[in-house]
Structure formats: C-alpha cells, structure tokens
Amino acid sequence: MGGPDNHFAQTPKPPYVAVIFTSLRTKADNDGYQAMADEMDRLAAGQPGYLGLESARDGEGFGLTISYWRDEQSAKAWKTNARHLAAQKRGRAVWYKAYHVRIATVGRDYASS
C-alpha cells in the first residue's frame, strides 16, 4: 500500500459519489477481518467506476471508510458484487457491532498544496 501519503485518494474533479461507511468493530476474528478487508480493497479497486478509498480506524475499533465512485451506478454495482455481499453478511454477523452507511455526492473539494 506504499507510504502514508498514499492514504489519500486521488479523486478527479467533482461531481462523484462517496460511500461513507462508519463502523464499530467487535473484538472477534481479527485475522479473518483483516484478510477480508484487504481482499475487498483489492477487489473494489478493480471495479468499473472506482475512484479511490480512504480509511482510518482508531484504537477503540471505531472506523470510517469512504469509497469514491464515478456515479451511483458503479457504487451500487459494487454493493451487489457477489464476493462483497458475502463479506457484508459476515461483517453483520461477526465483525461489526454497529455500522452506518451514507451515500453522498461530492460537489466541491480542495486540498493542501
């Protein structure tokens, strides 16, 4: 995944779609969770319309993950990807105590130089 600067998604000019996934991890199955998270990051990156991913989780297990997509259609296609559906199911059963998903349209952005 490279150095810390690569944490930033290199998104194009707005508009584009942001899927905001806010979650609180259980303490269960850390290895399984991490393996699946890595697989999902790789798999998402290969989907049509994928623009990037930003993610941070704190020491208490609370995390924010945002995936960026060209449009609603590509975001929805990723949500219904078969392997991703299996990951979501296991997430609900084992990995997440609670989560919240918000689908948003980015209209403006700016960054440090």
User: Where do contacts with its own copies occur on this chain (CB under 8 A)?
Assistant: 4-5, 7-9, 11, 14, 18, 20, 22, 24, 54-64, 66, 92, 96, 98-112
- Cβ atoms of 105 and 15 within 8 Å: the answer is yes
Nearer to its own copies, 9 or 43 (CB): 9
Residue 83 CA: distances (Å) to CA of 16, 19, 70, 77: 24, 18, 21, 12
- 62-69 vs 16-25, strand pairing mode: antiparallel
Q: How far is the CB of 14 from its own copies (least distance, A)?
A: 8
Q: How far is the CB of 27 from its own copies (least distance, A)?
A: 11
- The number of angstroms, rounded, from the C-alpha of 42 to the middle of its chain's C-alpha atoms is 11
Least distance CB 32 / its own copies (angstroms) = 19
Which C-beta is closer to its own copies: that of 24 or that of 43?
A: 24
Please, what is the minimum distance in Å from the beta carbon of residue 50 to its own copies? Answer: 16
Give me 40's structure tokens: 């999902």
Q: Which is nearer to its own copies, 29 or 54 (CB)?
A: 54
Nearest CB to its own copies, comparing residues 8 and 86: 8
> In 29-39, which positions are buried (b, 16+ CB within 10 angstroms) versus exposed (e)?
eeeebeebbee
